[in-house]
A and B are shown apart, each in its own frame.
Chain A
Amino acid sequence: MKTLTGWASAVLLGSTALASAEGVVNLYNWGNYTHPEILERFTAETGIQVTLTDFDSNDTALARIRQGGHGFDIVVPSDTYIQTWITEGLFQPLDRDIVTNMDNIAPQWVDVPFDPGREYTVPWAWGTTGVIVDTSVYSGDPNNIELIIDPPAELQGRINVIPEMSDVMAMTIYYHGGERCTTDRDILRAVRDSLISAKPHWLALDYGAVDSYAAGDFAAGIYWNGASMRVRLLNDNFAYGYPETGYPIWMDNAAVLADAPNRDNAMKFINFVLQPEIAALISNFARYSNGITGSEEFLDAEMRDAPEINVPAEFVEAGRWGQACPQDINDIHTQIWTELMQ
């Protein structure tokens, strides 16, 4: 099955590659993440046609590009994976003669640890993982991960946690005072013990839960900022909290592939999305921030002032970049996670 699909898509891609002699760019992005208007406007402005292909996880995208023969020009992976893409030579440096809008990138997103100085990538969208609480059930401070890993009585049995190993492990490790990939066995032991004792209080570990929160199935959880905003717009009892002990920041970044068949068009597209008005379209569609200065005024009104989207000044410091841990540490995380979910 897999082999056949591989062949079929190879044939399809081959045909798009043929058509690319004149004005095409092939974008490989997360599903349901690209505002159709961006592609229409780009084509209207430059005459270059855009084809869009979806992926559903960083692992899928990386595995597919590694195999070669993909025909894509641009890919949009997450921060934790960028170093791997760069060191394996899968990206090419941005051509500053074409990508002239680099100055539009907000200063705090230029010297990022995964691509210092933005040699290869530009921001597409970014967000945070935090805590969501129904304030009609629990009226205390929401900026606290203890609500999930040592929940008060009124939240017990009404908690939903996103089944993302990396986010849950990160927040629990930060809570116990560790670094993301700590090798400190005492901290890891404490992480395991607190997760195992918290689990009986969790009702579910579910992704697509916006309507479940709004409908009152859950009263608290670990959740993404953009999704939390959608919950609040449906039910304004909900508040989003930034755990003071540390919470994950993530960012998806666009880059041009080393073997891009339409290199110049790809650079033009990258430059195009760095405009504030276009970046705002990304945000209005995906419901996450974009990292481009001046895009605020083009945002939908409900996003512009949303506390989920604009990190309050006092919590900015607690945000931490994700990191892909070495295999032996990651194996320990997987083992703890498996034990938790057994």
Chain B
Amino acid sequence: MRGHGWKWLLCTPALIVLLLAASGPLLIVAVYSFLSPGNMGGVVWEFSTEGWFRVFFRRDIFEPDLVEWNAAHLQVFWRSIWLSLQTTFICAVLGFPTAWFIATRPPHTRTIWLFLITIPFWTNLLIRTFAIQEMIRNNGTINTVLMQLGLIDSPIQMMFTEFAVLLGMAYVFLPLMVLPLYAAMEKMDFRLVEAGYDLYASRLNVLWHVILPQVKPGFIAGSILVFIPAIGAYVTPRLLGGGRTMMLGNLIALQFGQGRNWPLGAALAMLMLVVVVGALILYLRVVGGNDEARRG
């Protein structure tokens, strides 16, 4: 019992840092969302729910008495969530075979493959995004090669499209899916796969009933690691998507910048937090919960 208390003491420095550095600013944001906007940015210490009101509703610019749903904000929220879901799905589809390939190599070569997966992290995200731009722009590498091979006559417009954004997002977040999947597969008992075949299960059946249940924790961890940062993605959609449409991150930045409405920005940021935590809980309930039930 006494030993247990000492162990807690060991992690207090880390807990203090977390508390100050994570909860502190978060608390400030929460408080700011209930204040009034100051002159040229900042806040005035007057309680107001206007920030939160404006997250969901807007007064018609031309008839201030007319209050309606703030469709623009909802649209931006939905776009960010939808993009993150698509990114997570693409990463899962591409990540599974990759992780499987690595996990089935002889142990001494696995390290090399894992090492290759981490190489993108050596370079700054911004630089890698510019490199993608160079590949897919109208007179970029891909279009030039295709045109010189005579496969196309005029460049394919890839930059500034949804395709470009998804390509960039999938590229950036793929390692975050591969690594946890690999970790789960490495621990997998391959004798169960053999047993499945021995019992005349088809390939698909083995995948569905033997492999997937075992690597599920990897999928859950990977999806969380991809989905959450993808919601707040800012650089990739902006550079590759051409900034024609706003993401959640851009909308929040607008309120703290030229919009000069910090309470609204703070309220939007809090709502984003709620969405992320909500998604997390839902996901763990739906996917993680099943697991518990089966074990029980």
Contact = CB atoms under 8 A, between A and B. Distances in A.
Given A3-B20, A204-B242, A84 B39 contact: yes
A4 B138 contact: no
Interface string B15-41: 001001110110000000000010111
B40 A324 contact: yes
Contact of A192 (B61, B139, B242, B251): B61
A19 B173 CA distance: 45
B40 A81 contact: yes
A188 B61 CA distance: 9
Contacts, number: 109
A63 B42 contact: yes
Contacts of A337: 254, 259
B258 A334 contact: yes
Given A2-B25, A185-B62, A342 B72 contact: yes
A330 B75 CA distance: 22
B4 interface: no
A59 B254 CA distance: 11
A96 interface: no
A330 B40 CA distance: 10
A342 B246 contact: yes
B71 interface: yes
A331 interface: yes
Contacts of A57: 257
B183 to A, nearest CB: 27
A51 interface: no
Contacts of A54: none
Interface string A1-18: 111100000000000000
Interface in A189-217: 189, 192, 199, 202-206, 212, 215-217
Interface residues of A, number: 43
Interface string A302-339: 00000000000000000000001001001110111111
Nearest to A341: B246
Nearest to B258: A165
B213 interface: no
A193 B137 CA distance: 31
Interface in B144-197: 159-160
21 contacts: A2-B25, A3-B21, A4-B17, A62-B41, A81-B40, A185-B61, A185-B62, A189-B62, A192-B61, A203-B244, A204-B244, A205-B242, A205-B244, A212-B137, A327-B37, A335-B61, A336-B61, A341-B244, A342-B73, A342-B76, A342-B246
Given A215-B138, A342-B73, 11 more contacts: A4-B21, A59-B41, A59-B257, A62-B41, A164-B258, A185-B61, A189-B61, A204-B242, A204-B244, A217-B159, A337-B259
Interface of A: 1-4, 57, 59, 62-63, 66, 81, 84, 160, 163-166, 185, 188-189, 192, 199, 202-206, 212, 215-217, 324, 327, 330-332, 334-339, 341-342
Query: Closest 5 A-B residue pairs measured CB to CB?
Result: A204-B242, A342-B72, A334-B259, A205-B243, A341-B246
